[in-house]
Structure 1
Amino acid sequence: MSVEILSSALIELGEDRIASADQDTERARLARAVYEVERDALLEEHPWKFAIRRVALARLAAAPAFGFARAFRLPADCLHVIGTEPETAYGIEGGNLLCDLDAVAVRYVRRVENPAEMPPTFRVALAARVAVRLARKITGSSAEKERLEALYRERLRTAKGRDARGGGTPEANRPDLLQRARR
């Protein structure tokens, strides 16, 4: 858990910084209570380049009871599957990817727990998101919550814009169209 991100959220609310994520104060307990859920939700709602991973999946011995021929275990840190290679129809159930292929790989958004792996613009957007969740409880003000929601939307737009410009060429993120046509 990031003391930096939690402190930034509290500062947005007009509160003092915390010295430790384990600090035994009401505001630190509140921030800890929402941090991981808000972090994962923010990661899941956009294919952040820093959070994307590619991996071949391990096939499970037991096939699904119906609907698909095979089941593959998704990585424990998988928050959202972006797509499969080769492209195929699939379903996700109980931490497994179900499809009719004998082998499959996925591009997915992973849970990033280490703030050092997050770009600065993502960290400030996350801090604003945490502040929005805490606003009513800490300040008791609807107007303050609305101000923070606007701040969050602005920081999110900045983070997404930076993410769009910072990950190589657009062609590097798409399968080759000729290879796809040959399949």
Structure 2
Amino acid sequence: MATGVSICSNALLMLGAQTINDFADQLNLDRAKLCANLYPTVRDDMLRSHPWNCAIKRAVLAPDAVAPAFGYTHSFELPADFMRVLEVGTNGSQIDYLVEGRTIQADTTVLELRYVFRNEVENTWDAHLVKLVTLAMAAALAYPVTQSSALQQSFEQKLEMTLKRARAVDGQEDPPQTLGDERLLRARFGGGW
């Protein structure tokens, strides 16, 4: 079962370093503090980098009491675990929107949001994502732990290669994307296709 600590420990093992038991491990305090500092940033960066199926949520948002000063009629507060917009719509159709700070501005009274969320429950992650975050932690820890920039570069290259493969596999689980409104295409080009 993957946890933040196990991911960091496996990254340390890849570097030939002593593992940690938790983020406050008194026996390996330097490495534990280093992992505790780097892990949230590395995790969030990897989650935000791709719409991983294990980190997607849907929400229906109600407008804030105060409307934007101009531009759009309503403002919607983003969920606390929000990381990246995937889709914004109402009743299944895309709408015009703008993300500003921790809000979405739009001309609608109800906003349907599909988004990448900060999934902090690592045991719900896909195996590829666990491996990627482990490699990313190894790359982030390589220089501070070993003082080897060559080792750091090596892990960064492994991470890039593995990232391409993992994105492809994760994307193959999704249905094919359509190009726009099928009814509009049928009306424009005829219904015989």
* TM-score, normalized by the shorter chain, greater than 0.5: yes
Would you say 1:138 and 2:142 are equivalent positions? no
Residue 105 of structure 1, aligned match among 109, 112, 116 = 112
Distance 1:180 1:16, change over 3 A: farther
Residue 181 of structure 2 corresponds to residue 177 of structure 1 = yes
C-alpha spacing 1:91/1:75, structure 2 compared with 1 (3 Å): same
Q: CA RMSD in A?
A: 2.0
Per-residue CA deviation, residues 87-131 of structure 1 (Å, 9 max, x unaligned), is 122111231110111221111000000111111110110011111
The answer to whether the 8 A contact 1:59-1:73 is kept is: yes
Structure 1: how far apart are the matches of 2:124 and 2:181? 31
Summarize the Cα distance change of 1:118–1:82 in structure 2 as closer, same or farther, 3 Å threshold. Answer: same
CA distance in 1, matches of 2:85, 2:32: 33
**Aligned-pair distance for 1:43?**
0.8
Number of residue pairs matched by the alignment? 179
Q: TM-score, normalised by structure 1?
A: 0.89
SS in 1 for 2:57: strand
Q: Which residue of 2 aligns with 1:4?
A: 6
Residues 180 and 42 (structure 1), Cα distance of their counterparts in 2 relative to 1, 3 Å cut: farther
1:123 matched to which residue of 2? 130
Which shifted more, 153-162 or 92-101?
153-162
Alignment TM-score, normalising by the size of structure 2: 0.85
Unaligned 5+ residue runs, structure 1?
none
Match of 1:170, SS state, is coil
Task: Please give the alpha-carbon distance, in whole angstroms, between the structure 2 residues aligned to 1:116 and 1:147.
Answer: 27
For structure 2, the residue ranges without an aligned partner over 5 or more in a row are 187-193
1:38 aligns with 2:45: no
Match of 1:73 in 2: 77
Q: What percentage of residue pairs aligned between the two structures are identical?
A: 32
- Contact between 2:129 and 2:166, CA under 8 Å: does it hold in 1? yes
Q: Deviations over 1:2-61 (max 9, x none)?
A: 221011111121112222232132111101101011111111111111111111112111
Q: Partners of 1:39 and 1:55 in 2: how far apart?
A: 22
**CA deviation after TM superposition for structure 1 residue 180, in Å:** 7.3
Which residue, 33, 53, 73 being the options, matches 1:29?
Answer: 33
- In structure 2, the partner of 1:89 is 96
